[in-house]
Amino acid sequence: MTTHDNAAASRRTGGYANGRARRQQILDAAMNLFGDVGYRSASLREIAARVGISHPGLLHHFPTKEALLLAVLERRDEIDTATLQEDSDDGVELLRRVIDIVALNTHRRGVVELYTALAAEATSATHPAHDYFTQRYRHTLAAVTRAYRLTHEQGHLRDGISPAAAAAQLVAVMDGLQLQWLLDGGRTDMTGVVREFIAAQLTVAL
Amino acid sequence: MTTHDNAAASRRTGGYANGRARRQQILDAAMNLFGDVGYRSASLREIAARVGISHPGLLHHFPTKEALLLAVLERRDEIDTATLQEDSDDGVELLRRVIDIVALNTHRRGVVELYTALAAEATSATHPAHDYFTQRYRHTLAAVTRAYRLTHEQGHLRDGISPAAAAAQLVAVMDGLQLQWLLDGGRTDMTGVVREFIAAQLTVAL
DNA sequence: CCTACCGATCGGTAGG
DNA sequence: CCTACCGATCGGTAGG
């Protein structure tokens, strides 16, 4: 039905609606397989089979396996970075947004699997996403450090906590909890533990 | 020289000294390659080449790739679990030992790479080390929770911190920091950040 | 988008 | 421990 509607729409618009829909299907399938077995062990044939095309068919949309990887990362990055980069001078408000991301991730197992698998894989200097993750962590840590610095300036950060160390801790807690959450079948209360962690650093209620 | 000495020793003892030495070489090479590219993407041929034998030669020592993986994990597990399982009723003392492990890891990049790569890979239910890591985390979390419970009973844990949540946080911080440390070329001060993290939970000096 | 194919590589076995 | 081999699978290309 959907396919028929899309085909009709394509005829109507004369555009590339089908191609765009197919690309989305491929990106979704690639995200899931990369998350399950990592980039290196994932095969283009398996991804193609999951969307019902041949693997040369897939390569028509993404010229190489590496291009597919970068497209998956680019697409999946938008939400999280936007959330933290949105301008705000309220440190505690920014930390609340971090908690919101954690809560959101609870309902996006595929995304969590993707980043857990790829971040670990990309610590290898020869991995095609090595530079991507190196920069991603640098930016994330800078943004979270800023949130804690603002919190400190507003007098809401506990004494003896340095913004840089607090940021390294928070980012680490989030990554580490995702690992625990994936390993124990979603029983870990990621949101609750992160909230408790941040609350213990502040002198005000969250 | 070493090879010659070993050969001489083998002739003297008539035992399996060479075989044991070869097994150690294989386990070291496997640890390094598993840590670099993960288990699935590592090849027996590459590991064998690094110790100067053929890949059927490697299979003479370890019958399957999976057996090699489990042997690597078994061997590398001893230090850490022993450190935490050693009997002590002093919670703060146990937490100090955790810091010692982090400090030790700073000088064992290969081990850190191994666990970071394999833990993420093993979140997949079909991974041969899935059960191993599931149990490893359960045991580690139980041991660390006990350390915080003892700390609490001794009146050295800050108010409002639950032992179970504190344990999940500490294990998560350690795993997450390893990721940051690997990605930024060892610049992250894992030991300092973990010490600061634990210190902030306690009412006594570390 | 397809079939057909390329050279390379995989884990494991046969047989010594 | 070796050489030689097995069937399976890989990313990518040719040519339509």
The whole-number pLDDT of residue B151 equals 98
In whole angstroms, give the CA distance from residue B143 to residue B87. Answer: 11
Q: Can you tell me whether residue A202 is helix, strand or coil?
A: strand
% residues pLDDT > 90 (chain A): 83
Tell me the pLDDT of chain B averaged across its residues. 91
Q: Does B80 touch chain A (CB under 8 A)?
A: no
Taking the CA of residue B76 and the C1' sugar atom of nucleotide C13, their distance in angstroms comes to 30
Whole-number Å distance between alpha carbons of B149 and B88: 13
Dump pLDDT digits (tens) for B62-121.
999 999 999 999 998 877 777 777 778 999 999 999 999 999 999 999 999 999 999 999
User: Does residue A185 register a pLDDT over 50?
Assistant: yes
Question: Does residue B59 belong to the interface with chain A, where contact is any CB pair within 8 Å?
Answer: no
pLDDT at residue A195 is higher than 80:
yes
**Are the beta carbons of B123 and A179 separated by less than 8 Å?**
yes
The reported pLDDT for the residue numbered A205 is 96
What span, in angstroms and rounded, lies between the C-alpha atoms of B162 and B166?
Answer: 6
Q: Which nucleotide is nearest to A53 (CA to C1')?
A: C1
Under the banding of pLDDT at 50, 70 and 90, the label for residue A15 is low
Residue from the list A116, A134, A193 with its beta carbon closest to the beta carbon of B183: A134
Q: Which nucleotide is nearest to B51 (CA to C1')?
A: D1
Q: A184–B122: do the CB atoms touch at under 8 Å?
A: no
Q: pLDDT tens digits, residue range B9-35?
A: 444 444 577 888 999 999 999 999 999
DSSP codes of every residue in A80-136: HHHHHHS----HHHHHHHHHHHHHHHTT-HHHHHHHHHHHHHTTSTTSTTHHHHHHH
Q: Is the pLDDT of residue B132 over 90?
A: yes
Q: How far apart are CA B14 and CA B118, in angstroms?
A: 38
pLDDT, tens digit (0-9, with 9 covering 90-100), for A49-63:
999 999 999 999 999
**Structure-token pair, residue A17:** 């609606």
**What are the structural domains, with CATH classification, of chain A?**
1-63 (1.10.10.60), 73-206 (1.10.357.10)
* Range of lowest pLDDT (A20-24, B92-96, B152-156, B178-182): A20-24
Please tell me if residue A202 touches chain B, with a CB cutoff of 8 Å.
no
A111-158, pLDDT tens digit by residue? 999 999 999 999 999 999 999 999 999 999 999 999 999 999 999 999
- Conformational region of residue B53, where left means phi above 0, alpha means psi within -120 to 50, and beta covers everything else: beta
pLDDT at A12 over 90: no
Q: Which residue, chain included where needed, has tokens 């053929």?
A: B54
Span A59-98, pLDDT tens digits: 999 999 999 999 999 998 877 777 777 778 999 999 999 9
pLDDT at B18: 83
**Residue A190 pLDDT grade (very low, low, confident, very high; cuts 50, 70, 90):** very high
